[in-house]
Structure 1
Amino acid sequence: MLRIATIGMAAALFVGTLTATPALADGTASIVLAAQAASVDPDHPTTTITGKVVAADGSPAASIPVDLSTNTGWGSVTDATTDADGAFTATLSPNGESDSVTVWADVPSLGIHSEMVAVQVVHGETQTTLLASRTDLDEGQPLTLSGQVTYQGRPLSGRAVFIDPAVDPSRCTSPMYTFRANTDAEGRFSTTIKPSCTATYVARTPAAGFYEGSTTTLPAVSVRPATTTSLSATMDAYGRFQAQGALYAASAGGDVNGKQVLLEYSPDGRTGWQTIRRMKTSQGQFSASFTVNTSGYWRARFAGDTAAAPSVSPVRKTWRWSTSMSKLKASPTRVRKNHYITVSGTLSRYYSSKKRFGAFPGQKVRIIFRFRGKKTWYHVKWVKTDSKGRYKAKVRAYGNGYFAATFAGTSDTWAAGTPNDARVTTYAVPSPGGRSGPPPIMTVLPWRDHQ
């Protein structure tokens, strides 16, 4: 049977000789114990324990059971039975958890005990290697780390390997954890991860059994942090377009500054993307405003650089349907100053369901006027289109000049204006106290050629 036992501190400190010589006394049985090898190592993990039992009368104690013991948790030793010469052998198998083990023997039938014999444990020096499948990648891409654990060039199977990533905390806010791999029959290990930051990797093989631990360091694997690009886009009925967004890298601390972001346009949102503006981020933000006069789709794209990975925003649609105003009619075109004339026209819009233009009823149309030779337009009157898109207004002729009509658009249609200015000529002088002119419009938005 195998036997292990715990020994006291005083006994554990006794490691003097390989052979314990019993104290001899007349008429007393004795036992002697020895270790065939002074030490064990990975190539010679066991040693033979030999001994001899002498009876009280000095004759060999034959066929006597001998119980052998060793330190608890440090290995095992077999029991033995003496032969005709009183000799016996046993096998001591240290497990490598200590630098030395002791063994001793008991002969219960004779009531005798041996001295302890110490055997040194020599641990083998291991080697661990570590390689990376690539030296640079983008966050979220796989990285395979592999290597081998050997002893004197021979593979060690079943060994645990712990790989510790070391990152710069000022550049990486995403946690990276230690991960474990195990060696196969050829001593090789491999694991695939998706690192979030640039890191240096240290592979640790802990000491186990007859083998010492070993470490190796892999130079830094560069990881470009993933970015996200956001975009919002609006366009009013006059084609005034505004875009704003942000460039963000969560694993690198947030806002990405000083980067160029491209604002791109496509007529169908799938193909034909064109760069319309180049914007630079400040505190992670970017923006642009200009007049586009066309419906379509927009996206913001960061092309990436050595410090950050590329990203593209969701596609945003800014779409308005075409509107059209007929030529403005004025009657009469010659009238006494401050007397009234009638202006009229029609407003239509494009209907996608019908794939053609049709009447645009119930819409407000503004009648405006400017004096001949002047650039300032004046508001005259609001009028609403009827069920057939027609409008008509009775307006005062303030002097020689031009009338026009404008439509400010809706949430999904363009603004429009009459393609002509209806000229009106006035004569005579207004009576004292008569009205001299309409209220001015401070700003008249352009309405022609906006589509």
Structure 2
Amino acid sequence: MPAERRSFALAAAIAVVATALSTVPASADDAGPVGIGVARTADNRGTFTVTAWTDAPGAAVTSVSAQVRAGDTGVAEVPALTRTGSTWGLPADAALKLVEDGGTMPHLGAYSIDVSATDDQGHTTTRSAAGTLDFTLRPALIDTAGDNKLEFTRLPTFDRRSLGATDRLVGIEPGSGDQVPIEGRTVEVTRSYDGGAPRPDDTFTAVTDAEGRFTTEDLDMANWASFTAGFTAADDQVHGDARAFGRPSISPSKASVTATADRSRVLPGQTVTVTGTVSTGSGADTAALADIPVRISLRTYGNDRPALTVTTDASGHFSAVLHPPAGVGVDGWSAVPADMYLSATAASGSLVVPDESVLRKVTASLAANGQVKMTGRLAHAYNDDASDGESVRLEYSADGRTGWQSLATGKSDYYGNFTLSAWGYIDGYYRVHHLGSDRLADSTSTPVRLSRVDTRVSSIKASATKVTKGATVTFTGTLQEYVSRTWRPYKGQHVELFFQKKGSTKWTYVASGTTSSTGKATLKGKPTADGKWLIQYFGDSRHFDSGGTAVYVDVR
């Protein structure tokens, strides 16, 4: 980096060198084929560039020269500019400098540039005042390390949440690149809090001293903020903008937070209350921290999800009521001071929040043999995802409101489907009940009433109970249905005669018939072995299978 030199005040006091290097050249004929563009100051303000061309057929520009002048007085002759691509310019190693730097420029300021160009066919053009050389200081803001960064006077703390912004304003001299302090100038500093645009009261000013340094008053930093220093000038000594950006660090104090929750399992619609204390120090030196914001978060799939912020009271205590949403994977909570000037490990706890469940496509049937069957699908209420291995139960109630009793239990499969069956009742209500788990909350299906008409075959008799093998025996009985709380004959129904051999569990079909107008059934069989005989009615869509007492026949 160029060495720092005398102050800008000294540089500005340099006397103007009045000696002219040459007189101002006159402009050539504008009708000539050689053209000259606008001369422009380069980044190094001791140099400039210009375009030149010729319209003469087959010709090319071979040389470009320039003269720099103050008014009518020439201060620098440039006999030959160097060509780079389509432009001609003064090389950096030949940059114009102030007299005290070994150059010919008498002082800082704006100078006119006259340019002459010649092509290889002898055509020449001179353009007077082709451009202006901005031979002024280029401002820059630098820190003590020489970088373009804004510095700060201190690290803000819990007890002192403010800082001053400081830096140095220097001017980069044209040509030499030397840095000189710029004294007595006003620098503007803007504070921008995170998440918000700067406000009118976020702008502050400070004036540079003899070393170019400025320091603002102590500025509040209530939240994370960035600071930008800015300087702008457009005079005959300094011209340009300078910016420096800084984001300060802080020095937080250590704190402790303890907290507990009033429950670890929250069903849909329930709340959980988290209470705790924020303090600093330890042992006998422990002190409660009042008016501290505490952020209570819900943990979902390992990530914190901010829920709400509360403030500690005079004793450092806080309390928050959370409404954990179902269906988003909540598995815990945490509490931590939301003050950036406090460093603390969050207090946390586990939390089970089962998703709401729903029983879909539930079907129920009551078979003629008295078997109740219910099928359906258990799913998450919000996204309809299936959940396997969940317990479901088939329940019965006589009135559909009270006295629910379990008839059968089962588990949902991979797709959430289930099938439950049990022996039912003549009349009543049935439902599926999902027994809540950590994954899914309790749920029940809409009760369904199922009923059939009860039937029986009463007074089953055999014409003989002790017979010889192969003898014909007549079996009679009366088929009845239970209607209006009375057993009534059930005529015209198909009935069948079955035999169960002594010592066997198998019933064998023997014969069939139809009941008479009085419900009487008469069927014949030929016993070949000892055993039971039974007349059976198999129900229809409205009736149960019949019950009855078998008659025993002894074969001799």
Structure 1's 256 and 271: CA in aligned 2 closer, same or farther, altered over 3 A? same
Residue 221 (str. 1) matches residue 350 (str. 2) = yes
C-alpha contact (below 8 Å) 2:336/2:347 kept by paired residues: no
C-alpha contact (below 8 Å) 1:228/1:311 kept by paired residues: yes
1:356-375 residue pairs with structure 2 within 5 A?
Answer: 356-368=486-498
Q: Which residue of 1 aligns with 2:519?
A: 390
Residue 69 (str. 1) matches residue 193 (str. 2) = no
C-alpha contact (below 8 Å) 2:492/2:514 kept by paired residues: yes
Q: Which residue of 1 aligns with 2:264?
A: 136
Structure 1's 189 and 102: CA in aligned 2 closer, same or farther, altered over 3 A? farther
* Paired residue secondary structure (2:346): strand
Distance 1:323 1:24 in 2: 123
Q: Which residue of 1 aligns with 2:146?
A: none
Structure 1's 293 and 423: CA in aligned 2 closer, same or farther, altered over 3 A? farther
Q: Which structure would you say has the larger Rg?
A: 2
Residue 23 (str. 1) matches residue 9 (str. 2) = yes
Deviations 1:82-138 (A, max 9, x none): xxxxxxx9968576634x76576979899899x999999674637695845435113
Residue 237 (str. 1) matches residue 368 (str. 2) = yes
Distance 1:199 1:329 in 2: 69
* Paired residue secondary structure (1:255): coil
Distance 1:41 1:202 in 2: 27
Distance 2:349 2:155 in 1: 40
Q: Which residue of 2 aligns with 1:155?
A: 291
Structure 1's 219 and 335: CA in aligned 2 closer, same or farther, altered over 3 A? closer
Q: AA paired with 1:178?
A: R
Residue 350 (str. 1) matches residue 482 (str. 2) = yes
Q: Which residue of 2 aligns with 1:55?
A: none
Deviations 1:207-256 (A, max 9, x none): 9xxx5585642333231645869787765434456678888889999323
Structure 1's 341 and 263: CA in aligned 2 closer, same or farther, altered over 3 A? closer
Offset of 1:407 from its aligned partner?
Answer: 0.7
1:269-280 residue pairs with structure 2 within 5 A?
Answer: 269-274=400-405
1:158-307 residue pairs with structure 2 within 5 A?
Answer: 163=297, 165=299, 167=301, 178-179=305-306, 181=308, 192-194=323-325, 197=329, 199-201=331-333, 216-223=345-352, 225=354, 236-240=367-371, 254-256=387-389, 265-274=396-405, 296-297=428-429
Distance 2:216 2:456 in 1: 109
Q: Runs of 5+ in structure 1 lacking a partner? A: 1-9, 15-19, 29-36, 50-64, 81-88, 169-175, 427-451
Higher relative contact order (CA 8 A, sep 6+): 1
Distance 2:319 2:205 in 1: 36
C-alpha contact (below 8 Å) 1:299/1:316 kept by paired residues: yes
Q: Between Structure 1 and Structure 2, how many residues are aligned?
A: 364
Identity across the alignment (%): 19
Distance 2:356 2:243 in 1: 68
Q: Which residue of 2 aligns with 1:56?
A: none
Q: AA paired with 2:252?
A: E
Distance 2:498 2:460 in 1: 11
* Paired residue secondary structure (1:136): coil
Deviations 1:245-293 (A, max 9, x none): 8888899993237x7x766554444333445667788978987777567
Q: AA paired with 1:155?
A: D
Offset of 1:336 from its aligned partner?
Answer: 12
Q: Which one of 452, 455, 459 corresponds to residue 323 of structure 1?
A: 455
Residue 97 (str. 1) matches residue 225 (str. 2) = yes
Structure 1's 23 and 417: CA in aligned 2 closer, same or farther, altered over 3 A? closer
C-alpha contact (below 8 Å) 2:410/2:418 kept by paired residues: yes
TM-score of the aligned structures, taking structure 2 as reference length: 0.43
Distance 1:345 1:233 in 2: 33
Q: AA paired with 2:401?
A: R
C-alpha contact (below 8 Å) 1:267/1:295 kept by paired residues: yes
Structure 1's 90 and 109: CA in aligned 2 closer, same or farther, altered over 3 A? farther
C-alpha contact (below 8 Å) 1:202/1:216 kept by paired residues: no
Structure 1's 46 and 313: CA in aligned 2 closer, same or farther, altered over 3 A? closer
Distance 2:435 2:373 in 1: 22
TM-score of the aligned structures, taking structure 1 as reference length: 0.51
Q: Runs of 5+ in structure 2 lacking a partner? A: 15-151, 167-183, 194-201, 208-214, 281-287
Q: AA paired with 2:305?
A: T
C-alpha contact (below 8 Å) 2:289/2:312 kept by paired residues: no
* Paired residue secondary structure (1:324): strand
Distance 1:90 1:368 in 2: 110
Q: AA paired with 2:301?
A: V
Distance 2:291 2:369 in 1: 75
Q: AA paired with 2:306?
A: F
C-alpha contact (below 8 Å) 2:396/2:429 kept by paired residues: yes
* Paired residue secondary structure (2:351): strand
Q: Which residue of 2 aligns with 1:416?
A: 546
Structure 1's 214 and 200: CA in aligned 2 closer, same or farther, altered over 3 A? farther
C-alpha contact (below 8 Å) 1:137/1:222 kept by paired residues: yes
Distance 1:180 1:376 in 2: 68
Offset of 1:167 from its aligned partner?
Answer: 3.5
Offset of 1:27 from its aligned partner?
Answer: 6.5
Deviations 1:4-31 (A, max 9, x none): xxxxxx9xxx9xxxxx986347969xxx
Deviations 1:347-395 (A, max 9, x none): 33123xx443444344212245689999986544433346x45355575
Offset of 1:154 from its aligned partner?
Answer: 6.0
Residue 407 (str. 1) matches residue 537 (str. 2) = yes
Distance 1:373 1:110 in 2: 125
Structure 1's 66 and 384: CA in aligned 2 closer, same or farther, altered over 3 A? same
* Paired residue secondary structure (1:254): coil
C-alpha contact (below 8 Å) 2:262/2:274 kept by paired residues: no
